Amino acid sequence: MNQKYSNVLALELAIYQVHDQDYNPLDKIVDFWKKYDINTIQNTISTVLEQAPTHKKRDNIVQLCHKQIFAVDLMRLLIAYFHVHTDHIDINELDISGAETTQSRLDQLGITKQIQEFFSRLVD
């Protein structure tokens, strides 16, 4: 398989994996922090941004800015999750149900569940 498409497939499978019977998000969080440290994450995000075609062309500054803002937001999120777990902060009371993105995310999960069920039936 073409490397370009295998990367896309890996990202797609990560989305559909949440519907597996034995999926545990806590395991994914622990696995992530066992595999990566903060400096590695920061360096990897920087490398990805530097190698982005728009970074080299400099012709689409809006797209580049969006990628950089997203990368910083993602970095902040990962650091926050790291501190939640290492400092044993209870996030049970955290409610993001009012966020505009929550409903679209729930809709997306519903769609990926239907697709995953379809392919599961094909395999069976």
Task: Supply the pLDDT for residue 3.
Answer: 64
Distance of CA 113 to the CA centre of its chain: 17
Q: What is the pLDDT of residue 55?
A: 53
The pLDDT assigned to 74 comes to 92
Domain extent at residue 98? 3-123
* Per-residue pLDDT tens over the stretch 46-102: 888 887 665 555 557 777 788 888 888 899 999 998 888 888 988 888 887 777 788
Query: In angstroms, what CA-CA distances link 66 with 19, 54, 74, 94, 105?
Result: 30, 11, 12, 27, 20
Phi, psi of 28 (to 5 degrees): -65, -40
Number of domains in the chain: 1
Average pLDDT over residues 15-25: 87
Residue 74: HSE in the Cβ half-sphere, 13 Å Cα cutoff = 12
Q: Which amino acid is at 44?
A: T
3-state SS, one letter per residue, for 15-58: HHHHHCCCCCHHHHHHHHHHHCCHHHHHHHHHHHHHHCHHHHHC
